[in-house]
Homo-oligomer: A and B are copies of this chain.
Amino acid sequence: MTEKIARFFEERRPQTPCLVVDLDVVEQNYHALADALPDARIFYAVKANPAPEILRLLTGLGSAFDTASVPEIEMVLAAGCTPDRISYGNTIKKEADIRRAFELGVRLFAYDSEAELEKISRAAPGARVFCRILTSGEGAEWPLSRKFGCDLPMARELLIKARGMGVEPWGVSFHVGSQQKDLTQWDRAIFEVAQLFRELEVLGIDLGMINLGGGFPTRYRSDVPNSQAYGQAIFDSLRRHFGNHLPETIVEPGRGMVGSAGVIESEVVLVSRKSATDRKRWVYLDIGKFGGLAETMDEAIQYPIEVLGDDGSDAAAEPVILAGPTCDSADVLYERAEYRMPADLKAGDRVRIHATGAYTTTYAAVCFNGFAPLQQYCI
């Protein structure tokens, strides 16, 4: 945690639960990614954290933006960004929303099906399109379903079709899965994309862009490769499969841009046992699965959690089960994951949940159990 965040908590003593994001860290992350991938254009995945302060900062730094909906496009425009730096990256769009985005000046659209291509050709004539392909997502911590993308033969057909439909087949995208720690996953996908580029070249379709998606991780409880390592692996792979004829590359970091910039402070509401002989205590926080920590689903993302005032020595720490404050029995954060907390932990103590800058505020439920959504401060 940065000194700036520590000072904010100390001086402001905000009501819990709340998230504090250090914009300096976002800026450092932007530069680290830009340095690691000097030839790639960065499209920040707005869905990770659409705070106006973050969008304004990244606009100023020259970032482009990957958006999932018209409201996200409007947020980016409101931050002062021009529409030529916006990608409408959701492969699932209402035709009216494509039209609205086109009216707002957006000229770059994702698709992975014929029906979507037809919508784009009607509602955004002349726009650039990129086709998303399926990848396995092996090695990613956040599950990647088959929801997005199509297989390679279908992508080939869809890119050929695009040419005949008044839109510009500009490239291919894939996503290796969020919080991807296996660097070889990019290589596998880049190899397949390079083959597709060559097949289409033969047919006179020169694709110009490869969208490498996101997947850049945040450090949670265990180490992850740094940006430099990702950049090197991706660059090597591009050289290996494309030679000297490198396409334009796009990356869409979300978690990798803002995850490490945020810390949530939460209050312990209750510490209890279920029976006199219970080995594990239950620790209930004032934030849970429905208040912003949705990514604890199936204990997928395991945030580092610090107890305030604890010196960190594990001597007096005992295992705990962590749960949220709602009356929903599914609102349990960590039961199998081994979290330990001081033996004298009690209601009123505060904890800090680190690396929570991404995928927290927007996941919070409107008013589940009457609890307000997660409050955010960008400093």
Provide the residues of chain B in CB contact with A91, threshold 8 Å. Answer: 270
Give Cα distance in the complex from A150 to B272, angstroms. Answer: 9
Q: How far is the CB of A136 from chain B (nearest CB, A)?
A: 12
Closest B residue, CB atoms, query A271: B115
Give Cα distance in the complex from A114 to B347, angstroms. Answer: 12
Identify which of B45, B69, B272, B331 contacts A115 (C-beta below 8 A): B272
Instruction: Tell me if A330 and B142 are in contact (CB < 8 A).
Output: yes
The oligomer's copy count stands at 2
Task: Contacts A134-B274, A327-B47 given; indicate if A67 touches B362 (C-beta within 8 A).
Answer: no
Identify which of B47, B346, B363 contacts A370 (C-beta below 8 A): B47
Q: How far is the CB of A211 from chain B (nearest CB, A)?
A: 13
Query: Interface residues of A: mostly helix, strand, loop or mixed?
Result: loop
Provide the residues of chain B in CB contact with A71, threshold 8 Å. Answer: 367, 370-372
Closest B residue, CB atoms, query A369: B68
Is the C-beta of A127 less than 8 angstroms from some C-beta in chain B? no
Is the C-beta of A151 less than 8 angstroms from some C-beta in chain B? yes
Is the C-beta of A187 less than 8 angstroms from some C-beta in chain B? no
Q: How far is the CB of A32 from chain B (nearest CB, A)?
A: 24
Give Cα distance in the complex from A249 to B115, angstroms. Answer: 56
- Binary contact track A43-84/B, C-beta < 8 Å → 1, others 0: 001110010000000000000000111111101000000000
Provide the residues of chain B in CB contact with A145, threshold 8 Å. Answer: 329-330, 332, 335
Closest B residue, CB atoms, query A148: B329
Q: How far is the CB of A65 from chain B (nearest CB, A)?
A: 12
Instruction: Tell me if B269 and A94 are in contact (CB < 8 A).
Output: yes
Give Cα distance in the complex from A70 to B370, angstroms. Answer: 7
Give Cα distance in the complex from A46 to B364, angstroms. Answer: 19
Task: Contacts A269-B94, A347-B119 given; indicate if A47 touches B366 (C-beta within 8 A).
Answer: no
Task: Contacts A270-B115, A362-B365 given; indicate if A286 touches B94 (C-beta within 8 A).
Answer: yes
Instruction: Tell me if A363 and B365 are in contact (CB < 8 A).
Output: yes
Provide the residues of chain B in CB contact with A93, threshold 8 Å. Answer: 269-270
Give Cα distance in the complex from A276 to B364, angstroms. Answer: 38
Provide the residues of chain B in CB contact with A90, threshold 8 Å. Answer: 325-327, 369
Is the C-beta of A282 less than 8 angstroms from some C-beta in chain B? yes
Instruction: Tell me if B112 and A331 are in contact (CB < 8 A).
Output: no
Provide the residues of chain B in CB contact with A372, threshold 8 Å. Answer: 71
Q: Which of A248-268 contact B (CB under 8 A)?
A: 267
Provide the residues of chain B in CB contact with A134, threshold 8 Å. Answer: 274
Instruction: Tell me if B68 and A327 are in contact (CB < 8 A).
Output: yes
- Binary contact track A122-141/B, C-beta < 8 Å → 1, others 0: 00000000000010010000
A-B contact pairs, 6 of them (CB 8 A): A50-B367, A69-B371, A119-B347, A147-B331, A362-B366, A363-B368
Where the two chains meet, the residues of A that have a C-beta atom closer than 8 Å to any C-beta of B are 45-47, 50, 67-73, 75, 89-95, 112-116, 119, 134, 137, 142-151, 153-154, 157, 177-178, 267, 269-276, 282, 284, 286, 290, 294, 297, 323, 325-332, 335, 346-348, 361-373
Given A94-B269, A177-B329, 10 further pairs, Cβ under 8 A: A47-B328, A70-B370, A72-B370, A137-B329, A143-B330, A145-B330, A150-B274, A151-B274, A294-B365, A362-B369
Q: Which 4 A-B pairs have the closest CB atoms?
A: A113-B272, A71-B370, A72-B370, A69-B370
